[in-house]
Structure 1
Amino acid sequence: MSANRLDQAAQATQTAFVFPGQGSQKMGMLADLAAQFPVIEETFKEASAAVGFDLWHIAQSGEGINETQYTQPVLLTASIALWRLWLDLGGVAPKFLAGHSLGEYSALVAAGSLSLADAAKLVYLRGQLMQQAVPQGAGAMAAILGFEDAKVVELCAQISAQDFGSVEAANYNANGQVVVAGTKAAVDALIALVKENSGKAIALPVSVPSHCSLMKPAAEKFAEALEQTAIELPCIPVIQNVNAKAAQTVDEVRLALTAQLYESVQWTKTMQVFEQQGIHYLMECGPGNVLANLAKRLPNIEKAFPLDTQARMEDALNAVLVAEGKIA
C-alpha cells in the first residue's frame, strides 16, 4: 500500500498499532507464520542483508538473541514482518502508531519514515553504543509496582542523593508500574527502600540500563548516525516516547530518537493519547503480548490483540474487520 493510500485509510479507523521493545524476543519467534507466509522470511532476508548477518538464524536458534546489539535488529525485523503480513492479509491501516523504546523504530518503518534497511543498521549501532556506554554489570533496571509515579521519582531522588550513583524512572508503563534504571548499586538500594515502604520491586535481567542519564554518551555518538540517515515525516502519526506527541518535522523525529536513549519512555501518556483520540482497538505488532496486556487496563480500549502467531493474527483480523465495518 502506498504512503498516500495508507495515510487516507488510516484516518477512518479506530485502531492503533504498538510495537514492543527489548524483552519480547524469544527463540523460534514467528516460525509458524513463516511456514505459511513467505513475507516473514523475505523481510528477515532484507534486514539481514543490511546488517551483514543472519537475523532469522538468531531468531530461530536463539544464539545471541539476548545480546542487545543482536536483539534490537531481530525484534525490529520481526515486528515489520508482522506489519507487512497484516497489510497483505487485508488488515486495516491504523490511525496511530507507537513503539515502546526500540519499538519506536518499528513504528517509524511502518509509517514510511525510515526504510527497513536503514532502521536495522541504526538499531544494530544503537545496541552496540548502549552496551559500550556502561560496563557489563555496572548498570541495572528494576520494575517498581504499587506506587504512584511521583512516589517512585521521590524514592529515586533519595537514593541518588547518597553515594550509590544515580537511579531514575526509565519507563512509565502504566499506573502503578514504573521501571527504573541506573547504576547497579543505586538500583539495589532503591529495591531495598521500596520494600521498606511496602512496595514491590523486581530486578530485571538486562545488560544495559536504558533510558537514563548513563546513556548520554551513547546518545551523542548516535546523533551523528541519525544525521547521516534519510528520514521522512511519518505518513501515519507516530506518538513519540519522550513527549507522547507526534513529530511535526523530520528534525523532531531525529531529536526524539536521540533523547529517547537517556529520557523516560512515556508509555502511560501515549496510551492516554490513544484514548483521547478515540482508539478502541490495539494491535501489538511483535513477539509476545506485553503491551496488549498493559492496554487491557484502559477503559476505552475495547480489544487488544497480539499478532505473533497464525491463530492470533486471524483472530485480530476477523475481530477488527468486523468492528471497523469492513466485513459484516
Structure 2
Amino acid sequence: MSAKQLEQTTKATKTAFVFPGQGSQKVGMLAELAEQFSGIRETFAEASKAVGFDLWQIAQNGEELNQTEFTQPVLLTASIALWRVWLEIGGVVPKYLAGHSLGEYSALVASGALTLGDAVKLVNLRGKLMQNAVPQGQGAMAAILGLDDVKVLELCAQVNTQGLGSVDAANYNANGQVVIAGDKASVEAVMNTAKEVGGKAINLPVSVPSHCALMKPAAEQFAMALEETAIELPGVPVIQNVNAEIASDVTQLRTALTEQLYQSVQWTKTMEFLQNEGIEYIVECGPGNVLANLAKRLPKIEKALPLDSKSRLDDALNAILVAEGRIA
C-alpha cells in the first residue's frame, strides 16, 4: 500500500509492528512460509531486480549472508515479504511502526514512505559504506549487561581519555542492556572494566561497529544518496531511532536516517513511547524473535508476537484480531 492508502486505512488502536535489524538473519529464512505464500518469492524477486543480485539465493544458501552489504537488503526484503503476507491474510494495520537500526528502513517501506526497490538499494549502499568506514578487524561491538545507562556512558567516557581510540553507546536496547561500539581496543577496555564493576560483557560477532563516531564518514556519503531518493511522509507513523520521535516532514526523516549511522539507537525510549501511547501488543515483522523477547519484559505489553513461521503467523493474526475487537 502507498502512504496515502495507509493513511486512509482504519488502524489498530493497541498494536505496533517492529522490524528487526542485523543479527536476526538466518540461513533458510522464510522457506516454510514461501511454500504457502507466493508473495514471499515475488517480493524477493522484486527486490533482487532492484539491486541486481539474487537475494533469495543468499537468504537460503547462506553465502555472503553475514556480509553487511548483503545482510541488510536480505533482511529488509524478508521483513517486507512478511508485512505483505500479513496484509494479504487480513491482518490489521498497526497504530505505529518502528524498526531497530536497519529495521527502520523496513518500517519506512511498510509505511509507504519508501519503495522497496529504493530501500534495498539504499541499504545495500549503507552496508558498503559502513564496511569501508572501518578496516576489517579494527572495530568491535559488545553487549554490556547488568549496568545502568549512566554507568555504561561513564565507562565509555573514561576509556575515551586513554588514547586507545573511541567507543560509544550504540544501542539502548532495554534497561540493563546497552550495546557499545568503536575501536576494538576501546571496546575491550570497556568490557573489562564493566566486568570489574559487576556487569557482564559479551562480544558481538559483527563485521562493522555500527552507531558510533567511526561511522561519521559513511554518514556524510550516505546523506547524498538519501537526498536523491524519493521519500514521502509515512502513512503509518514511524518512530525514529535517533530520538524516539515521529518526523513532521521529509527533511527530518532524511536527517534522522543520516544521523542514525553514528548515533545511538534509542530502543528503550521507543518502547516507552509505545507504552505511553496505549500500545499493548507488539508484533515483530521479520526473521526471529529478538525484539519480541525484549518487549515481553515491558510492564504494559500484554503480548509480543513474532511472525516468522506459519504457526507464529496464525497465532499472531488470531491474537491481534481478538485484541482489536475484529473477531470475538
- TM-score after normalising by structure 2: 0.99
Indicate if the aligned counterparts of 1:13 and 1:93 stay in contact, CA closer than 8 A: no
Is contact 1:10–1:236 with CA below 8 Å preserved after alignment? no
Alignment of 1:277-316 (within 5 A): 277-316=277-316
In the alignment, does 2:145 pair up with 1:152?
Answer: no
1:11 CA drift (Å): 4.0
Q: Distance in 2 between matches of 1:10 and 1:144?
A: 41
Distance 1:172 1:325 in 2: 34
Residue matched to 1:111: 111
Greater CA drift, 58-67 or 5-14: 5-14
Secondary structure of the structure 2 residue equivalent to 1:169 = strand
1:41-190 aligned at under 5 Å gives the runs 41-190=41-190
> Which letter does structure 1 place at the counterpart of 2:95?
K
For residues 99 and 7 of structure 1, what CA distance do their matches in structure 2 show?
A: 19
Counterpart Cα distance in 1 of 2:230 and 2:12: 29
Match of 1:293, SS state, is helix
Query: What is the CA distance between 1:8 and its match in structure 2?
Result: 3.9
Instruction: Give yes or no for contact 1:194–1:201 (8 Å, CA) kept in 2.
Output: yes
Q: Higher mean Cα deviation, 189-198 or 171-180?
A: 189-198
Of the structure 1 ranges 277-286 and 8-17, higher mean CA displacement relative to structure 2 is found in 8-17
Q: Deviations over 1:9-28 (max 9, x none)?
A: 35442110000000000000
- Identity %, equivalent residues: 72
Q: Is the 8 A contact 1:10 1:95 kept in 2?
A: no
Task: Report 1:236-275 matches (<5 A).
Answer: 236-275=236-275
Equivalent residue, structure 2, for 1:229: 229
CA distance in 1, matches of 2:202, 2:93: 37
How far off is 1:6 after superposition? 2.5
Unaligned runs of 5+ in 2: none
Matched, 1:321 2:321: yes
For residues 227-261 of structure 1, the C-alpha deviation after alignment (integer angstroms, 9 at most, x for no partner) is 00000000110000000001100000100000000
| Contact residue 143 and residue 201 of structure 2 kept, 8 A | yes
TM-superposed CA distance for 1:323, in Å, is: 1.0
CA distance in 1 between partners of 2:290 and 2:142 (Å): 16
1:282 & 1:4 partners in 2: Cα distance?
A: 24
* Backbone CA RMSD of aligned residues: 0.9
- Which letter does structure 2 place at the counterpart of 1:91? G
Aligned residues: 328
Q: Give the Cα separation in 2 of the matches to 1:115 and 1:271.
A: 26
Distance 1:8 1:15, change over 3 A: farther
1:10 touches 1:94 (CA, 8 Å); kept in 2? no
Instruction: Determine the C-alpha separation between the residues in 2 that align with 1:324 and 1:209.
Output: 40
Secondary structure of the corresponding residue to residue 179 of structure 1: strand
Provide the C-alpha distance between the structure 2 equivalents of 1:263 and 1:294, rounded to a whole number of angstroms: 21
Cα deviation, 1:292-313, whole Å, max 9, x if unaligned, reads: 0000011111010000011100
C-alpha offsets along residues 171-201 of structure 1, whole Å, 9 cap, x if unaligned?
0000000000000000011111111111100
Q: In 2, distance between residues paired with 1:222 and 1:274?
A: 29
Matches within 5 A, 1:16-31: 16-31=16-31
The structural deviation recorded for 1:2 is 5.2
- For 1:89, give the aligned amino acid: I
C-alpha distance in 1 between matches for 2:150 and 2:10: 36
Quick check: 1:58–1:64 contact (8 Å CA) kept in 2? yes
Structure 1 residue ranges (4+ consecutive) displaced by more than 2 angstroms after TM superposition: 1-13
Which residue number corresponds to residue 209 of structure 2?
209
Query: Is the alpha carbon distance of 1:188 and 1:304 closer, same or farther for their aligned partners in structure 2, counting shifts above 3 Å?
Result: same
Code of the residue aligned with 2:40 in structure 1: it is I
Shift of 1:277: 0.4
